[in-house]
Structure 1
Amino acid sequence: MATIDLKGKIALVTGSSSGIGRAIAVALAAGGAKVAVNYLRSREDGEETVRTIREAGGEAELFQADVSKVDAIEALVRAVEETFGAGVDILVNNAGHLVRRCPNADMTEELYETIMDVNFKSAVFVTKAVLPGMKAKGGGAIVNLSSLAAHDGGGPGASVYAASKAAIVSYSKGLAKELAPAGIRVNTVSPGFIGRTAFHATFTSEEGRKATVGRVPLGREGTPDDVAGAVLYLVSGLAAYVTGETIEINGGLFMR
């Protein structure tokens, strides 16, 4: 039976300086992968992710890039490939942001583009950039991060964010069909209410948190490690026959 053994694999996790991205990077490194940690603004947080991995005996390097910009994406992937000496085997498109809550009546073109670029465009073009290297290696695994908001529309003022995360689900299914002949699997994880993240610290009140957790059948909020565990499964040999799938990680709050 297959096991989780990522030794020799090169993994790129976008937006991995903190929260869910950090947990994913740490989990992949614990599985044996060499991890490219990506950050946008906080180098200190990115360095903390790298330090956590190295102190546990893993291998990681830090890369700054705004993955909503195509030129920055292309430079990022080149730097990762040059640093590790080969193409990416595992891509986790984790970078994303609500940006701010805004009712549609107040939506501007600039805000719309910012939300769509960080949540959807980033996944499309980071994927494009790693594909030549992945195909040259004869296969790979891609995991895209969606959200419970993709299914229920999200909270107040989050309709465009929710739409961007719904786009991730459809995109991943189409991409899974497109890349299957190249031996590349594509799957999605869709987190629900995950605590201990900057997202909810910024956008969710304590009252809202308690109300949401009160509706979760498992009786608690999720943790970044809950999401990381699903990603680790999807990129491993345990999921060798899984592609085009979306795994919901929400404690039973939403069941398909």
Structure 2
Amino acid sequence: MGSLLKKNAFVSGAEQGIGKAVAEHLIDAGCDIFIHYFMGEEGPKELVARAEARGQRAAYGRGDLTDEGEATACVQEAIEFLGGMDVLVNNVGGIIGRKYLGEIDVKFWQTVLDVNMTTMLHVTQASLPALEKAQDGASVVNLASLAGRCGGHSGSLAYSTTKGAVLTWTRSLAAELGGKGIRVNAVAPGLILGTRFHDKHTTKESADATISQIPLQRAGNAGDIARTITFLASEYDGFISGATIDINGGIYRM
């Protein structure tokens, strides 16, 4: 496993939940970091203070990553601040709302697609020139979901479809960018409580029912995901690429 000391990392959607935990772990591993956020500066300010207390460089910036111009500007700000990019974590995503097939209109469908896939396209495209210049090779980690593996709960048709697409995007991009020294992998979290996603869209009854089926008999937490992403980031010169690591307590075994 390579050292992340003084490596340059960009994490999207890092103001809370999994993204914030990922940023914390990358900081603790020695990264200089740029934190993207969309709603609320409190989390990014805490992360910058955490990094600076360790003698590391950190900054944050806001942007609507569904907008190509804003996404590109945010990534460029990050590259200019950091002086390059070794690690990219595409964390932004969300279910938006639970809608069944007969309730899905084109506007909702496009919104879910944009939040979960178009953001990834914009950020990765804008990051590519810097990733290509990474001295020891670069690592890209994409956030998928157990829903992309097995279809998710009822009402998550659009979301599950996009998360399945993230898995294919990861495999295809790994083949395309491997010759440039860029590894691309994904993580597929199961039930991760304590995030804005589940606080808003998952009832206690639903969570309890899911937990009862998990072999480890607990829900996951943001740290479970952050540790795995930090490992994949630290393997910037490694041999793992095009893979998806499932983090779900054993409920999905494939």
- TM, length-normalised to structure 1: 0.94
Once residues 81 and 19 of structure 1 are traced to their aligned partners in structure 2, the CA distance between those partners, rounded to angstroms, is 24
CA contact (8 A) 1:233 1:239 kept: no
Q: Secondary structure at the match of 1:185?
A: strand
Q: Secondary structure at 1:189's aligned position in 2?
A: strand
Counterpart residue number, 1:11:
9
Q: Which amino acid aligns with 1:38?
A: H
1:47 maps to what in 2?
Answer: 45
Structure 2 residues without counterparts, runs of 5 or longer: none
Structure 1 residue 62 displacement after superposition = 1.0
SS of the counterpart of 1:99? coil
Give the match for residue 22 of structure 2.
Answer: 24
Q: Distance in 1 between matches of 2:53 and 2:73?
A: 28
Summarize the Cα distance change of 1:52–1:202 in structure 2 as closer, same or farther, 3 Å threshold: farther
**Distance in 1 separating the partners of 2:56 and 2:214:** 35
Q: Which of 114, 122, 125 matches 1:125? A: 122
Give the aligned partner of residue 73 of structure 2. 75
| Count of aligned pairs between the two proteins | 253
Tell me which of 230, 250, 253 is aligned to 1:252: 250
Do residues 113 (structure 1) and 110 (structure 2) align?
A: yes
1:99 maps to 96
Which position in structure 2 is the counterpart of 1:148? 146
Equivalent position to 1:88, from 85, 107, 127: 85
Tell me the residue number matched to 1:35.
Answer: 33
Distance 2:132 2:160 in 1: 31
CA–CA distance in structure 2, aligned partners of residues 21 and 163 of structure 1: 21
**Residue 108 (structure 1) shift:** 1.6
**Farther-moved stretch of structure 1 (72-81 vs 37-46):** 37-46
Task: Report what 1:194 is aligned to.
Answer: 192
Note if contact 2:144-2:167 (Cα within 8 Å) is conserved in structure 1.
Answer: yes
Partner SS state of residue 186, structure 1? strand
Question: Per-residue displacement from partner, 1:18-44 (whole Å, max 9, x unpaired)?
Answer: 000001001111111111111102122
Unmatched tracts of structure 1, length 5 or more: none
| TM-score (ref. length: structure 2) | 0.95
- Among residues 205, 212, 230, which one is paired with 2:228 in the alignment? 230
Matching residue's letter, 1:140? A
Give the aligned partner of residue 61 of structure 1. Answer: 59
Task: Give the share of equivalent positions with the same residue, in percent.
Answer: 34
Distance between the aligned counterparts of 1:57 and 1:157, measured in 2? 46
Which one is further off, 96-105 or 243-252?
96-105
